[in-house]
Amino acid sequence: MSPRATAGEPTDFSSAVAETIDRQIGLSGIPVAHVIKEAGLSRNYYYKRIRGEGMFNTNDIDTIARALGMDPFDLIRMALAEMSRKKQGADIHDLDSRRASVAGVYEDGESRRQSDYARAAKARSKDRGEEYYD
């Protein structure tokens, strides 16, 4: 890929963000339909970006992350880590990579598991009186 992609062509980073979003939704246990609705996206819009036919913008990343109970910066950090692993030729599907992508490390040094994010999203939905499907 050229250093600069055209307007309609996702960059390596944009592709890594889409892959990270897709993986984190799967790991969270939160139904994709729930995340899409919570983020205020249409199914068509979401799936076009997952397929690489468009790019998520920063607002999308923010709302998707929050629907997952995550900090949007964690999604970006995970995407950058995935890009780094790919450049180093690491298999992103090996166990250590999956473990690294599931835990977010915060400035206070505390590590949170993806299940913590799922519980937070579920609690927010209940607080708003919305249905949450396990």
Q: Evaluate whether residue 130 is within a structural domain.
A: no
Q: Is residue 55 part of a domain?
A: yes
User: Does 38 map to a domain?
Assistant: yes
Quote the mean pLDDT of the chain. 78
The answer on pLDDT for 106 being more than 50 is no
Q: Is residue 5 a part of any domain in this protein?
A: no
Which amino acid appears at position 57 of this protein?
N
> How confident is residue 103, by pLDDT bands cut at 50, 70 and 90?
very low
pTM of the model: 0.64
More confident residue, 9 or 57: 57
- Domain hosting residue 16, numbered range: 12-125
What's 41's domain CATH number? Answer: 1.10.260.40
pLDDT tens string 80-101: 998 888 888 755 455 454 444 4
Number of domains forming the structure of the chain: 1
- Kindly state whether residue 3 falls inside one of the protein's structural domains: no
Mean pLDDT confidence for 45-51: 95
